[in-house]
Chain A
Amino acid sequence: MSLMKNLINGTNFDPNSLNALQKVTLRAVVMSFLFFGLVAIEGMIMRLVVTGDANPLPEMFSHPEHYFSIMTVHPIVGIFGSTYQLVFAAFMFLVPYLTKKPLYSVKLANCVWILITVGTALAWIAAFVWQYAPLYTLYWPLPADTKQFELIGGIVFVIGVALIMVGTLGFIYNIYATIFARVGVHKDKTTKELLISGFGIDGMLNLWNKLRGKQPYSKEPALSLPVVAIFRGTVDTFLDALVILGAGLLVLVYLIFDAIGHPLDVASINALLYKNFFWWGLDLVADGLVLIYVAGSWYLLATIITGKKLFMENVARAALMLELLVSWMVWSHHLLSDQAQPEMMKLISGEMVTAFELLTQGLALFITLVTLWKARPLKMTPPLAYLLGGLVGFGLAVPAGIIQADMGMNRILHNTQWISFAHFHIALIVGLYMTLYSALYVLWPLVTNNTKMFSTKLTWTHFWLYLIGGVGMGAFGGMAGLDGMLRRHLYIDGEFNTLMVLAALCGTMVLVAWFIFLFNIVMSIGIKGLIGIFLPAKDKSASYGIEEESTETK
């Protein structure tokens, strides 16, 4: 088949053969990877701006309003537009698939990706058109500062973020309504049994009984381990959505009062208290749902790749519960440089409880590796390679974060590029995304009805470029942080030129890898197939892999 034919028709992809669940999954995946491209381009613009004289971009990108507008929407597009969409898509497919029950509502799933897409676009427009740039941290009272930002920009931005959070709440409702639906294999289960399993209490009781030499509390838990991880991580997703919505509402009230000529006093909100509240919620993304979802994804991928049971499953269930509790108590590590923050909170929440993440994530890494090891020899397939890449990413990023969550180190690393690159860019780009790529290649045959990938060579090219580029960018950026480079600062004289040029080169590898990945996918499904994904499904089934028994969508 010629390249042109491939481009139009794909390999053997038939969008008409997809059911409603498969289509809604793929729609969100498409939007996620388009946003990924946007975020990679934004990242490259910021990298190039700080290379000083070597910067080939037009001058406008170096203007502070423009530069910080990009910095404001970069995480919104990356975390919500891309990552949330991809994770939500995978889980709205996986929960029905793993529980052998239909998704509660495909219509709601469609609303979720549309709301998040529109919300992300609005936030991006607010930054692009009105240069609204309080950064994602929204430190009070900056988001309500109408001396620096236009009112309309703030209002559009807040509405955008609110739509993303409403979409997120839609996802949460859909997931829990599916898990708690007493149909199919859960027809005879009670809500209490599903709750006990969802929170991993059965795993803890099994361990407790084993220690006492008694029979296990539950030989066959009601929910499989990956579903437990989704259940648990979604608790944090919910709490985080409430906090961000609450902060957005507060900003909106101030902006509206300003618009009608009766500005409120920003000093009536205590900036430090607000910062605690906001970081408590925002940290539920970074140290809560991401780590829990990732651990669950590793377990799922390890069992699918090996075809074996997970090693130490009860410990894994119990550890997920521990991770949930830990994630509620670690936010103070973001306030170690705030001198008015009580020292005990810094010590207990910021240092000691945060250090527990080394344990929970280390445990997930151990269980995944041993599960793989026990099944060797294995073929090095793309899903396995990406999974191992994901393990490398978190193996590097988690200790980098723990190192800074220390009162001594934080004094000289806070707000530097160390935390930005060595910690969360490696965690997201390498750790999280490589895990998600692994899931994508595992789920690809299921979601696309065995569509042949256009080129395996391109898949491997993507893998190596992405891994080396991601780790390299994190390493060079992290070194710049050690040299004193601040992360929310504009450098126009090439102060950290050498390291920034190297980071930009590695960033280019990530961007090129994304182009290759996209090309491979488009050549596999074809432009006709791409359009077909967005057309209504003839088969309204909201499930996959189970016999039809009233599985139609609501």
Chain B
Amino acid sequence: MTFSNSLELLAFHNVAYTIYALLIISIIAWFAYNLTREEKAKSIVRIPFYGYIAFLVIGGVGHHIFTYNAIPWVSEDITRDSIKPDKVFNFEIENHKWKLPKEKIVINCGEKVLFNVTSRDLMYGFGLFRQDGTMVTQMQVNPHSKNDLLWTFNHNGVFDLTSTEYSGPKQYSEDGKDLMKVEKIVKVVGCKEEGGKK
């Protein structure tokens, strides 16, 4: 199983966590009901103590092993220093204003793109969002630190940019409009409808 973008991963996550949440609520409810009953309750399954501990350990560690193998941006992120990007875009931020790359950000499907973001004053965030508001990717932008995000786009789309970290009320106009939002700044082309290179 591999997730090619955040939408697929979030949809999977949504279903998996909902099932888990319903399960844990049901178990405690079943437990509460049987705690008050006179007759001895029959366990549906008997889980030995060490089995339960093993389940927790496997769950905790296995989750990371699963995501490392199923989410492509994890290994890319860890090894990004040794990967040569196809394109590099440099951004700067100062006084809640972006200094954007001069060229248009048009990315071909499957290209590895490096976003380099420098903050001259405060801590900001760098986040790309789809037109329906869902998040594509993001990183924190620390002032006077290297903030580089390597990303591979596998689906066509036009994405908005904004700061994902609070940097004070001056990010907004008096009536609450986000002044750091840049609409339709990134365009990805050349992917098949279901994702992946044509």
**How distant is the Cα of A456 from the Cα of B23 in the complex, in angstroms?**
30
- With both beta carbons as reference points, the residue of chain B lying nearest to A422 in the complex is identified as B17
B92 within 8 A of partner (CB): no
B185 adjacent to chain A (CB < 8 Å): no
CB distance from B70 to the nearest CB of A (A): 8
Report if A490-B52 is in contact (Cβ < 8 Å); known contacts: A140-B123, A267-B143, A271-B145: no
> Which residues of chain A are near B135, meaning CB under 8 Å?
412, 416, 484
Does B35 contact A411, Cβ atoms closer than 8 Å?
no
**Once bound together, how far apart are the Cα atoms of A384 and B41, in whole Å?**
18
B178 at interface (Cβ–Cβ under 8 A)? yes
Distance of A408 from chain B, by nearest CB (Å): 4
B121–A378 CB distance below 8 A: no
**Contact between B148 and A339, CB atoms less than 8 A apart:** yes
A356 to B53, CA, bound (A): 11
A406 touches B64 (CB 8 A): yes
Given the known interface contacts A384-B35, A412-B138, the answer about A484 and B13 at a Cβ–Cβ threshold of 8 Å is: no
Q: Assess whether A337 is in contact with B123, with CB atoms less than 8 Å apart.
A: no
Residues on A with beta carbons closer than 8 Å to the beta carbon of B68 = 407-408
- A358 touching B56 by the CB < 8 A rule? yes
Set B77, B145, B168: member contacting A407, Cβ < 8 A:
B77
Task: Say whether A537 faces chain B, with CB atoms less than 8 Å apart.
Answer: no
Q: Which listed residue, A134, A396, A489, touches B178 by the CB 8 Å rule? A: A489
* Distance between Cα atoms of A64 and B170 in the complex (Å): 8
Do A352 and B168 touch across chains, with their CB atoms under 8 A apart?
no
Interface residues on A, range: 35 or more
1/0 per residue B57-72: CB within 8 Å of A? 1011101100110110
- The smallest beta-carbon distance between A485 and chain B, in angstroms, is 7
Q: Is the CB of A272 within 8 A of B145?
A: yes
Residues of chain A lying within 8 A (CB to CB) of residue B142 = 271-272, 275, 338, 340
* Cβ of B113 under 8 Å from chain A: no
**Residue on B with the closest CB to A488?**
B166
Residues 163-188 (chain B) with a chain A CB within 8 angstroms: 164-178
- Name the contact of B73 in the complex, choosing from A149, A267, A411, A483 (C-beta under 8 A): A411
Q: Which one of B21, B37, B63 contacts A406 once the chains associate, using CB atoms below 8 Å?
A: B63
Let me know if A408 and B168 touch, CB within 8 A.
no
Contacts of B136 in A (CB 8 A): 412
A-contacting residues, B97-124, CB 8 Å: 121-123
The reply to whether B174 and A63 form a contact with Cβ atoms under 8 Å apart is yes
Docked Cα-Cα span, A124 to B19, in Å, equals: 40
A130 to B134, CA, bound (A): 34
How far apart sit A486 and B170, CA to CA, in the bound complex (Å)? 17
Residue of A with least CB distance to B171: A64
Residue B90 at the chain A interface, CB threshold 8 Å: no
A399-414 Cβ-contact flags toward B at 8 Å (1 or 0): 1101100111101101
Stretch at the interface among A36-44, A385-393, A504-512: A385-393
- A373 close to B35 (CB less than 8 A): yes
Question: Which of chain B's residues have a CB closer than 8 A to the CB of A271?
Answer: 123, 142-145
- Centre residue among B78, B139, B146 by max chain A CB count within 10 A: B139
Specify which of A63, A145, A400, A422 is in contact with B168 (CB 8 Å cutoff).
A145
Tell whether, in the assembled complex, residue B34 and residue A148 are in contact, meaning their CB atoms are under 8 Å apart: no
Q: Contacts A340-B145, A408-B73 given: A399-B20 contact, CB under 8 Å?
A: yes
> Bound state CA distance, A496 and B130, in angstroms?
14
B82 interface hit (Cβ, 8 Å): no
Query: Does chain B have a CB within 8 A of A475?
Result: yes
Q: Of B24, B63, B78, B175, which contacts A402 at CB under 8 A?
A: B63
The smallest beta-carbon distance between A79 and chain B, in angstroms, is 18
Cα A422 to Cα B127 with chains together (Å) = 21
Cα distance A486–B135 when bound, in Å? 9
Contacts of A13 in B (CB 8 A): none
Q: Which residues of B contact A145 (CB under 8 A)?
A: 122, 168
Chain A residues whose C-beta falls within 8 Å of the C-beta of B177 in the assembled complex: 492
Identify which of B10, B38, B125 contacts A482 (C-beta below 8 A): B10
The answer for the CA separation of A206 and B68 in the assembled complex, in Å, is: 39
Are A407 and B78 CB-contacts (below 8 A) given A64-B174, A373-B35, A485-B133? yes
Residues from chain B with Cβ under 8 Å of A267 in the complex: 143-144
**Which of the 9-residue segments A168-176, A283-291, A361-369 touches chain B?**
A361-369
Q: Kindly list chain B residues whose C-beta atoms are within 8 Å of the C-beta of A131.
A: 169
Closest-CB distance, A26 to chain B (whole angstroms) = 30
Whether the pair B63, A148 counts as a contact (CB closer than 8 A) is: no
Which among A149, A271, A411 has the highest number of chain B CB atoms within 10 Å? Answer: A411
Would you give the shortest CB distance from B135 to chain A, in whole angstroms? 4
A339 to B145 alpha-carbon distance, docked (Å):
9
In Å, the complex CA distance between A275 and B164 comes to 16
Q: Nearest CB to that of B151 among chain A residues?
A: A411
Tell whether, in the assembled complex, residue B168 and residue A380 are in contact, meaning their CB atoms are under 8 Å apart. Answer: no
Q: Can you name the residue of chain B whose Cβ is closest to the Cβ of A137?
A: B166
Chain A window 418-444, contacts with chain B (Cβ cutoff 8 Å), 1 for yes, 0 for no:
000010000000000000000000000
A53 on interface, CB distance cutoff 8 Å = no
- Residues on A with C-beta less than 8 A from B167 are 142
Flag if A402 contacts B60 (CB, 8 Å).
Answer: yes
Indicate the member of A131, A403, A489 with the most B CB atoms within 10 Å.
A489
Contacting residues of chain B (1-52) with chain A, CB-CB under 8 angstroms: 6, 9-10, 13-14, 17, 20-21, 24-25, 28, 31-32, 34-38, 41, 49, 52
Using A335-B140, A486-B164 as known contacts, list a sample of 4 further A-B pairs with CB atoms less than 8 Å apart, ordered by residue number in A.
A64-B169, A65-B169, A142-B166, A415-B164
28 A-B pairs whose Cβ atoms sit less than 8 Å apart in the complex = A62-B176, A135-B166, A142-B122, A272-B142, A337-B139, A339-B139, A339-B146, A339-B147, A340-B142, A352-B61, A355-B60, A355-B64, A359-B53, A359-B57, A373-B31, A376-B41, A388-B32, A392-B24, A395-B28, A396-B25, A407-B67, A411-B74, A411-B77, A411-B137, A422-B17, A489-B164, A492-B175, A492-B177
By Cβ-Cβ distance, the 9 closest A-B pairs, closest first, are: A355-B60, A408-B71, A488-B166, A408-B67, A492-B176, A64-B169, A64-B172, A340-B145, A148-B168
